[in-house]
Structure 1
Amino acid sequence: MIFTEGNRGFRAYTSKHLDGLLGKAGFDAEARLRAAAVATVLPFRTNAYVVDELIDWSAVPDDPIYRLVFPQDDMLPAADVARLAGLLRDSAPAARVNAAANEVRRRLNPHPAGQLALNVPKVDAEPVPGMQHKYPETVLFFPKQGQTCHAYCTYCFRWAQFIGDADLKFASGDVDSLVRYLEAHPEVTSVLFTGGDPMIMGESVLRRYLEPLLALPQIESIRIGTKSLAYWPGRFVTDPDADATLRLFEEVVAAGKNLAFMAHFSHPRELEPPVVAEAVRRVRNTGAVIRTQAPLIRSINDDAGTWAEMWRRQSTLGMIPYYMFVERDTGPQDYFAVPLARGYELFRDAYAQVSGVCRTVRGPSMSATPGKVCVDGVAEIAGQRVFVLHLIQAREPELVGRPFFARYDPRAVWLDDLRPAFADRFPFDPAVPVARLSA
């Protein structure tokens, strides 16, 4: 057992441990080399809790939690894996390996900083790094001490935050600028702390970010995006500052703020250990609300029964199912993405298996540049098969909740793959020539 009273007991595993972990699991030298090749491009980090408590090593490489955190050699093009593996086999200089890895990274899907660069807030006419104001009522803040996680998900759309390139970092430690910006923008009522994982921070650091917001009357809710309940539930049970962290949560609630944990659970296995139920109980006892979300991930949770089981278990523990997301258009999207048509079928079939208390969940939803686009279904209208969609959230608030249509495409996996139906453009698109839309 890795949890010990008064001792955090946290042990991280990184790429330098990868060969040893896979060797103990029985992988041969060539398989370990190919995994190491992928890990030169995509970041690898896990911990003893995930390795010892969540992964069924008798079922690897098909075990879903193993696939969730360990690199697979088919995540990248075979030629790239072969080249990188050859460099590692030949003990090439680190600079040469890094240069080859960077070439592969540049060919991956768009880096999420493209979205983060939109609507960057300014204080005294100067852009504030690590902050995003995408929707009128909500500001996202990326605390610089929270730009890692207890373990990395292999599908993570923020993978570029973790590869050690300072130019790709999007984070800030300037709480004063955040407060000044909020004071200048009374329309903002909600602040979302995200990363990385803000709960990687200790209580004293987390307090520096949360406490100043408690004096702002306009702030109604504070949200924390985190996977700590799945990857390190001891953060709220046995860590030395677990009790102090929970007292901080109580202070937030006592100040009249809605404290929302946006908890990331990707598979029912993550909910099985008893320590998870205890962590959830302790967080909820502070008055915080726990809402759950995860993307639909091929080879990990692309099964309706898996989602239904996950939502029911979450509801039993007192959490609120919130979102099923579509895998983002970054990183190894081709490996993990599920077509939108199939994603809708999975959501519908899972939704049909649960009671009304679980039907708070929404999806499948794409967190795209215009906003959160939800696939409501597939229909035939005027002889044309179409996707029915709406914006759950939008940069332009007047578009929220209004249905629109896209031509049915069974291969489409993201908003950019879709074309408008019954119109020259989508509601959020600027007016452009029809010829361009149909190109």
Structure 2
Amino acid sequence: MTLMDTAQTTSTNRGFRAFTARHLDRLTARAGLSPDERLAVRAVAEVLPFRTNNYVVDELIDWSAAPADPIYRLMFPQKDMLPEEDVDHIAGLLRRDAPRQEVQQAAHRVRMRLNPHPAGQMQLNRPVLDGHVLEGVQHKYRETVLFFPRQGQTCHAYCSYCFRWPQFVGEPGLRIAADDGGSQELVDYLLAHPEVTNVLITGGDAMIMSAAVLRQQVAPLLALEQIESIRIGTKALAFWPRKFVTDPDAGDLLALFEQVVRAGKNLAVMAHFSHPRELETPIVEEAIARIRGTGAVIRTQAPLIRSINDAAEVWESMWRKQVRLGMVPYYMFVERDTGPADYFAVPLARGYQIFRDAYAAVSGLARTVRGPSMSTTAGKVCVDGVVELAGRKVFALHLIQARNPDLVGRPFYAEYDPAAVWLSDLKPAFGDRFPLEESPDPEEPVC
């Protein structure tokens, strides 16, 4: 049975059904994994989150190619994501049916070694209002604030490489989420900071919320003249496009989008697409058309991930299809230095070559995309290429966005290292520090 045949046989099953770790054994057996391999996957899922749904399982994964299928790898834990000794230890606990608390404690110890909050995302950029630190709000850049509604702290499915995996593992100390009443605190903070013109509603996935709940977060922003743009971060177009087409509140959701546009705000749906197959079903095309029909703009982004999309032709195909569907390619990210980063990371030199080859193969309409970009503590560092300066082979870099606006657009250089996968692996080519290391103390809360 082909992937399309499978989609046709399930086309009437439009209700959302989640699959979690308790379904892993059956699903991985479908991929042909042996009992020992399935146990190892379950061990990894004790540390890192797993969640998928019937749309992904029935219409996106090519089970005839699993476990090598890229969408399968995008969704399912792999035994090599964690150190072998950690996987063996937790698998042993599961094999002997150890007490749940013992398994959880073992998983917690592994998580704490996985850099759960890269770039200090739990501590930095935390706004202060009247002496009170606002939970679930980050003043990321001078003009941009991120808002994490409490109700949006999950997703329709979890990418295996997600840099926000700590949001989903059931440890309250690792979650970023607004308190009840957070939307009013956000408004109060924005009024006190007229320099903020953009709000990004994120999570998790903002589209996991019902239209009614999302309206509660968005409507107060429409009365603020200073707000020019409202962004909504989501993977729903890839993992649950029925949200915008057949879900019971799809019409209400699109009406909310229209209301935002009528209020004179730029509404940007920041859509996460990791692979061209996520753009191939008829329902995703319909969802995209419906969103665009409201006046919203869809911008697309994803990280470069080894074994899933680390080929220029994959990105070329994605960008071409996105442009044809009326979306705007926005970012190619470098995989964040958190979770199973070593498993998914692509060296910066190779990542740049993939970006360049794909970029060179598309028209100017797709060259709105930036990358490869690292989201570091100081800001988004873009790899511009490999050049020779003063007889030295170096990486050319610049900050696309920065906490210190004076650094934006200033070129700087790092010693060439073919194995480097993150900024921390690089050394300054000229001088003893990068310009971004001279920025104001990032530990200071925004107040």
Structure 1 and Structure 2 fold alike (TM over 0.5): yes
Report what 1:397 is aligned to. 405
1:140-175: per-residue Cα shift (whole Å, max 9, x none)? 000111010000000001111100011111111411
Which residue type is aligned with residue 285 of structure 1? G
Say which is worse superposed, 228-237 or 418-427, in terms of deviation: 418-427
What's the CA shift for 1:289? 0.1
RMSD between superposed Cα atoms in Å: 1.2
The aligned runs of 1:47-126 (5 Å cut-off) are 47-112=53-118, 114-126=120-132
1:158 aligns with 2:167: no
Cα deviation, residue 66, structure 1? 0.2
SS at match of 2:81: coil
C-alpha distance in structure 1 between counterparts of 2:298 and 2:196, whole Å: 22
Residues 385-424 of structure 1 mapped to structure 2, 5 A cutoff:
385-424=393-432
Q: Residue 113 of structure 1 contacts residue 170 of structure 1 at CA under 8 Å; is this kept in 2? A: no
2:121 & 2:153 partners in 1: Cα distance?
Answer: 17
Q: Could you tell me how far apart the structure 1 residues matched to 2:291 and 2:171 are?
A: 34
Q: Which secondary structure does the structure 2 equivalent of 1:283 belong to?
A: helix
Query: Could you tell me which of 227, 239, 252 is aligned with 1:244?
Result: 252
What secondary structure sits across from 1:160 in the alignment?
A: helix
Contact 2:394/2:414 (<8 A) preserved? yes
Q: Distance in 2 between matches of 1:233 and 1:2?
A: 15
The whole-number CA distance in structure 1 between the counterparts of 2:227 and 2:140 is 16
1:126-275 equivalences under 5 Å are 126-172=132-178, 173=180, 174-275=182-283
The Cα of 1:111 is off from its aligned counterpart by: 2.2
Q: How many Å separate the matches in 2 of 1:212 and 1:236?
A: 23
**Residue number in structure 2 paired with 1:436:** none
Change (3 A) 1:3 1:123: farther
Q: How many residues align?
A: 429
Per-residue CA distance 1:299-341 (angstroms, 9 max, x = gap) = 0000000000000000000000000000001100000000001
Deviations 1:270-301, CA, capped at 9 Å, x for gaps = 00001000000000000000000000000000
How many Å apart are 1:113 and its aligned residue? 7.5
- What's the CA shift string for 1:62-101, capped at 9, x where partnerless? 1000000101000011111111111111111111111111
Runs (5+) with no aligned partner, structure 1: 432-439
The letter for the 1-side match of 2:341 is Q
Corresponding letter in the other structure for 2:163: F
Q: Which amino acid aligns with 1:399?
A: L
Equivalent position of 1:362 in the other structure = 370
Alignment of 1:14 onto 2:55:
no
> Does the 8 A contact of 1:308 with 1:354 survive in 2?
yes
Q: 2:10 matched to 1:26?
A: no
Query: Which runs of 5 or more structure 2 residues have no equivalent in the other structure?
Result: 1-8, 440-447
CA distance in 1, matches of 2:349, 2:23: 39
TM-score w.r.t. the length of structure 2 is: 0.94
SS in 2 for 1:178: helix
Could you tell me how far apart the structure 1 residues matched to 2:213 and 2:10 are?
A: 25
Identity %: 69
Are the equivalent residues in 1 in contact too, given 2:30–2:63 (CA < 8 A)? Answer: no
Q: Is the 8 A contact 1:111 1:331 kept in 2?
A: no
- 1:39-50 correspondence runs (5 A): 39-50=45-56
Deviation at residue 119 of structure 1 after TM alignment: 2.1
Structure 2 equivalent of residue 284 of structure 1:
292
Query: In the alignment, which residue of structure 1 is the partner of 2:444?
Result: none
Structure 1 CA distance for aligned equivalents of residues 30 and 373 of structure 2: 39
4+ runs of 1 displaced by more than 3 Å? Answer: 1-4
SS at match of 1:409: coil
